[in-house]
Amino acid sequence: DDSIVRGTTSRKIVKMIRAAGASEVHVRISSPPVSGPCYYGIDTPTRSELIASTYSVDETARFIEADSLGYLSPAGLIEAVRGQQGGGQGGKRESQGETDIDQGYCSACFTGRYPVAAEATSNRRQLRLIEV
């Protein structure tokens, strides 16, 4: 799957796969764990509703009833997105002290590092992109 937010959809999918006869189900997610809400345009639940903000990878695997669970790392995601745009350098820039934000990517919902302080607007579910 692309992500696990609450875990309920993944749990249903794992149950369907087992009902079809699979003896083992190993889940791989093509993003890091979503552990923080997005205030920049993606409608994600509050932190308390995000499974990765409360449970470990092993606990999440048990909740969705999978035999194993694995995620892409934040650095792996940036490297995959950069691809040919990065000249094939992979995570080299980050290893030179630049973060994903410095490279023009927001991974706040995965890392908790927001490019704009979100605490000041914690009573709002989403920040306005352009203040008028």
* Domain spans, the chain: 8-121
| pLDDT greater than 90 at residue 127 | no
The mean of the pLDDT values for the chain is: 81
Q: What CATH number is given for 8-121 in this structure?
A: 3.40.50
Name the percent of the chain lying above pLDDT 90. Answer: 45
The pLDDT value given to residue 129 = 54
90-100 burial, b at 16+ Cβ within 10 Å, e below that, comes to: bbebbeeeeeb
